[in-house]
Chain A
Amino acid sequence: MGMWQFRIFPAISMLLLGALPVLAQHEYTESEIEAGKAQYAINCVRCHGPDGDNITNADIGHGKSRRATTDAEFVALIREGISGTRMVAFPNINEQNAQTIVAYLRSMASTANAAASLPPGDVARGKTIFEGKGGCRTCHRVGDQGSRTGPDLSQIGAQRRVVELHRSILEPDAEIIPANRFLRIVTKDGSALTGKLLNQDSFTVQILDVKDEKLKSFSKSNLREYTFVSNSPMPSYKDKLSTQELSDLISYLASLKGQAN
Chain B
Amino acid sequence: MRRINLRHMLFVVLTATGSLYAQVSNDRILRAAQEPQNWLTHHGNYNSQRYSTLSQIAPDNVKNLELQWLFQARSLEKFEATPLVVDGIIYTVQAPNDIVALDAATGRLFWTYSHTPDPAARPCCGRVNRGLAILGDTLFMATIDARLIAVDAKSGRPLWDVAVAKPESGYAMTLAPLVVKDKVIVGTAGGEYGIRGFLAAYDAKTGKEVWRFYTIPGPGEPGHETWPSQNNAWEHGGASVWVTGSYDPDLNLTYWGIGNPGPDWNGDERNGDNLYSCSVVALDADTGKLKWYYQFSPHDEFDYDSTQVPVLADMQWKGSPRKVMLWANRNGFFYVLDRATGQFLLGKPFVEVNWASGFDEKGRPQRVPGMVPTAQGTSILPGNQGGTNWYNPSYSPKTGLFYIPTWANYSSLYVKQPEDYVEGRPFRGGTPRPTTPNGIRSTVNNYAKEDEGYGAIRAIDPHTGEMKWQFKMTDVTDAGVLTTASNLLFSGGREGYFYALDARDGKLLWKFPVGGRVVAGPMTFSSAGRQYVSIAAGNSLFTFALKQ
Tell me the A residues contacting B by CB distance below 8 Å.
29-32, 34-35, 38, 94-97, 99-100, 175-179, 181, 197-203, 228
A171 to B428, CA, bound (A): 38
Check B447–A179 contact: CB distance below 8 A.
yes
Q: How far apart sit A142 and B511, CA to CA, in the bound complex (Å)?
A: 41
A31 touches B376 (CB 8 A): yes
Report whether B431 and A200 are in contact in the complex, using a CB–CB cutoff of 8 Å: no
Complex interface: chain A residues within 8 A of B443 (CB) = none
B375 within 8 A of A: yes
B194 shortest CB reach to chain A, Å: 13
Question: Which A residue's beta carbon lies closest to that of B413?
Answer: A31
Q: Which residue of A lies closest to B440 (CB)?
A: A38
> Out of B375, B440, B475, which one reaches A29, CB within 8 Å?
B375
Q: Are A200 and B473 in contact (CB under 8 A)?
A: no
Complex contact B496–A201 (CB within 8 A): yes
Q: Which residues of A contact B447 (CB under 8 A)?
A: 178-179, 181, 197, 199-200
Minimum CB–CB distance from B63 to chain A (whole Å) comes to: 15
A31-B376, A38-B439, A202-B474 given; A179·B445 CB < 8 A: yes
CB-defined contacts of B473 to chain A, threshold 8 Å: 201-202
B 410-430 contacts with A by CB, 8 A: 413, 415, 417, 419, 426, 428, 430
Query: Which 8 pairs across A and B sit closest by C-beta, in order of nearness?
Result: A178-B447, A201-B495, A31-B377, A199-B445, A202-B473, A177-B438, A29-B376, A200-B446
A38 vs B428: C-alpha distance when bound (angstroms): 19
Most buried by B among A30, A100, A175, A178: A178
Give which listed residue, B413, B442, B497, contacts A201 with CB less than 8 A: B497
Interface size on B, residues (CB 8 A): 32
Write the residues of chain B forming the contact surface with A, with a CB cutoff of 8 angstroms: 375-377, 413, 415, 417, 419, 426, 428, 430-431, 433, 437-442, 445-449, 472-475, 493, 495-497, 511
Contact partners of A203 in chain B: CB under 8 A: 497, 511
Nearest A residue (CB) for B377: A31
Determine the residue in chain A with the shortest Cβ distance to B439: A38
* A30 engages B376 (CB within 8 Å): yes
Residue of A96, A100, A202 contacting most chain B CB atoms (<10 Å): A202
On whether the beta carbons of B448 and A202 are closer than 8 Å, the reply is no
* CB <8 Å contact, B441 and A31: no
What are 21 sample pairs from A and B whose C-beta atoms fall under 8 A apart?
A: A31-B377, A34-B433, A35-B433, A38-B439, A95-B426, A96-B417, A96-B419, A96-B426, A96-B430, A97-B431, A100-B431, A176-B438, A177-B438, A178-B438, A178-B447, A178-B448, A197-B447, A199-B447, A201-B446, A201-B495, A201-B496
Question: Nearest Cβ distance between residue B163 and chain A, in whole angstroms?
Answer: 25
List of A residues within 8 angstroms of B413 by Cβ: 31
- Cα distance, A202 to B495, chains bound together (Å): 8
Residue of A nearest to B511 (CB): A203
Chain A min CB distance to B477 (Å): 10
A65 CA to B269 CA, complexed, in Å:
36
- CA A200 – CA B444 in complex, angstroms? 10
Report B-chain residues with C-beta under 8 Å of the C-beta of A201. Answer: 446, 473-475, 495-497
Contacts of B417 in A (CB 8 A): 96, 99
